[in-house]
Amino acid sequence: MLARTAFSLLSPGGRGARLSILIFHRVLAQRDPLFPAEPDARRFDELMGWVARWFNVLPLDEAVARLRSGELPPRAAVITFDDGYADNCTVAMPILQRHGLSATFFIAAGFLDGGRMWNDTLIEAVRNARVEWLETGLQGIGGLRLCGIGEQRAAIDRLIKAVKHLPPAARSDAVARIAEASAADLPDDLMLSTSQLRALRAGGMLIGGHTLTHPILAASTDTEAEREIGDGKARLEALLGEPVRLFAYPNGKPGADYERRHVDMVRALGFDAAVSTCWGVNDGATDIFQLRRFTPWDRQRWRFALRLLDNLRRTPGALCR
C-alpha cells in the first residue's frame, strides 16, 4: 500500500502524468550461470507480481495515445521486450498472461526462424568452445582463456565491447572468425519462429519493429539504415497481416546508437512512436519518437520499488534534437 501511494504521488494521472516504460530482453526457463542477473521464470514472475500491484500497465499504443491526450491513469506503465527471443513466447508470455499484463515485443525480423544475433553468436561460441584458448583476431585483444565461468564471462564482455560499434560488415566478419576459431556447435533456436511470433500477437501482445539485423544505426549509411528500418517493418507486416506502428532503436542510446536523422526516418516510414534506452520517464513534453525506458535490477522488493521511484524523480536523460 505504501508503494502504491508513493507511485501515485510521483506519477499522477491526467495532464501531469508520468509514464514509466520497462525494458527486458529475455526470460530464461532456468538461471544461466554465465548471466546470473538475467531474469529466469521464477524471478520474472516475482517482478510481474510487483508491477501488477503497483502500476496500471497499458499496451504501448494506448499509453502513447493517452499520454498525448493527457488522459493517462495514475501509476501508468508499459512493459517492453527487445530483439525477439523464443523465450519471450514460451516463458515470458504465460507469466504476463497469468498476471493480466500486456507487453510490446520489438522484433529484429531478420533473425526469425533460426537466425541468431551477433552477440549471441559470441556468447554461444564462448559457452560451447572446444578450445581453452580462443584466438580472436581482434586488435588489442588477441587470445582469451576460456577456463571456467569467470574467464568465460570476462571473455564475453571484452568481445562484445570490442565489436559492438564496428560497421555492420566488419562486425559480421569479426564474429564469424571468432565463431570459427571456437569450433563450437551453435544453437539455431534462440530466436522466435514465425509461429511463435504469431502466437505472441494472438496472445494479446503488441509487435513492434527493431530493424532487420539489429545494426547500430549511427554506424550505418543512410541507405543501409533506411533499408534496415523499412524492410524490418515490411517483413513483420507480411507475417502478421497488419500494420506495425511501433519501433525500438537497436541499442537505443541517443546520439551514440541513433541520431536525429534516424528519428526522422522512423517517422517517415510510417511508425506512430518509437522507444530508446535513455533512462527516465515520459511526460507530455517527451518526443514520442524517443520515449525513455528503464528497468530496475534490484532483487529485493523494497530496493526494486525505490529504484522505480528514483527513476520517476530523476531529471530525464537528453534525447536527440
CA dihedral (210, 215, 221, 224) positive or negative: negative
Model's pTM, two decimal places?
0.94
CB atoms within 10 A of CB 35: 14
Helices 2-10 and 41-54 pack at an angle, to 10 degrees, of 70
For the stretch 80-106, pLDDT in tens is: 999 999 999 999 999 999 999 999 999
**285 within 8 A of 222, measured Cβ to Cβ:** no
Residue appearing with cell numbers 506503465: 77
**37 within 8 A of 295, measured Cβ to Cβ:** no
Question: Percent of the chain scored above 70 by pLDDT?
Answer: 100
CA distance 22 to 275: 11
The pLDDT of residue 1 is 63
What's the CA angle centered on 50, arms 80 and 244, to 5 degrees?
Answer: 15
Three-class secondary structure of residue 28 per DSSP: strand
Mean pLDDT of 151-177: 91
SS percent in the chain: helix, strand, coil, step 5: 45, 15, 40
For the stretch 214-257, pLDDT in tens is: 999 998 999 999 999 999 999 999 999 999 999 999 999 999 99
Full set of structural domains in the chain with CATH? 2-113+189-313 (3.20.20.370), 118-182 (no CATH)
The pLDDT of residue 297 is 85
Q: CB within 8 A of 132, min separation 6: which ones? A: 145, 146, 147
Q: Which three cell numbers stand for residue 139?
A: 586488435
The pLDDT of residue 8 is 87
Residue appearing with cell numbers 530464461: 28
Mean pLDDT of 134-144: 90
Q: Residue 146 pLDDT > 90, yes or no?
A: yes
The pLDDT of residue 9 is 87
Residue appearing with cell numbers 580472436: 136
- Rounded to the nearest integer, the mean pLDDT of the chain is 94
Region for residue 74 given its phi and psi (left: phi exceeds 0; alpha: psi -120 to 50; beta: otherwise): beta
